[in-house]
Amino acid sequence: MPRPGSGCNCFLISIFSKEVGLNYLAHIFLSGDHPEVKLGNFFGDFVKGNQFEAFSPHIRQGILLHRRIDEFTDHHPEFRQAVGILRPHFARYSGIMADMYFDHFLASSFADYSTLSLSRFSCNFYFHALVRYPVLPDRIKRFIFHFTGSNRLKKYASLDGLQSSLQIMRDRKSAAIQPGLAIEMLQLHREELESHFTRFFPELMVYAQSELDSQHYSYQSHRNIILH
């Protein structure tokens, strides 16, 4: 979803965003029930151009869905306003912060959007991702065991877990990421930011569902999602 330098085009693909990966939970959640569509949507940022053609049909569908979700979010006024709130504090990283905050809001209110618990949803995804380890892009292979072992998706639900994810980003990729400031700003602006999320996310769910339906996928998509 969002990328560094968020503003008129917060989804310009950058080296930073492709190496780190951002709002994993939302992308996986919006993928329907097929595990390979979820997997493709999960690592969509790591597949450039037409490289998606090297994958199985369902993984290809997930990768393309990832790109469509990014484009929809890029142009959505609620997301753009959230980025605007953060820009004075994070400048070119404001989109990344909005991305992380939105995954936190989804995780912390997961029962409002899914009939599955976040724990069960996360474990199901980890299982299918590890079973399909051989087909993962090399950059995903380098962190997938830590990602699953640390239960990263579940951790997004707490401030401590969110801060831990931000610390990983800072330590591995950019000292400009300030986890302490990120949590401070989330607490300061939480009500306003979360209101943007709660207006935005149901619309994104409907859009993702329409994309799934338009592709005539051979599985029952979003079986466990609560449409608002």
Report CA 122 to chain centroid distance, whole Å.
13
How much is the pLDDT for 188? 96
How much is the pLDDT for 7? 37
How much is the pLDDT for 227? 52
Q: What is the DSSP string of 28-40?
A: HHTT-S-HHHHHH
* Domain edges within the chain: 15-214
How many whole angstroms separate alpha carbon 41 and alpha carbon 47?
10
How much is the pLDDT for 175? 67
What digits encode the pLDDT tens for the residues 52-105?
Answer: 878 889 999 999 999 999 999 989 999 999 999 999 999 888 988 998 999 999
Contacts of 209 (CB under 8 A, 6+ apart): 221, 222, 225, 227
Report residues of the chain scoring pLDDT below 50.
1-21, 217-223
Contacts of 33 (CB under 8 A, 6+ apart): 219, 220, 221, 222, 223, 224
Contacts of 9 (CB under 8 A, 6+ apart): 74
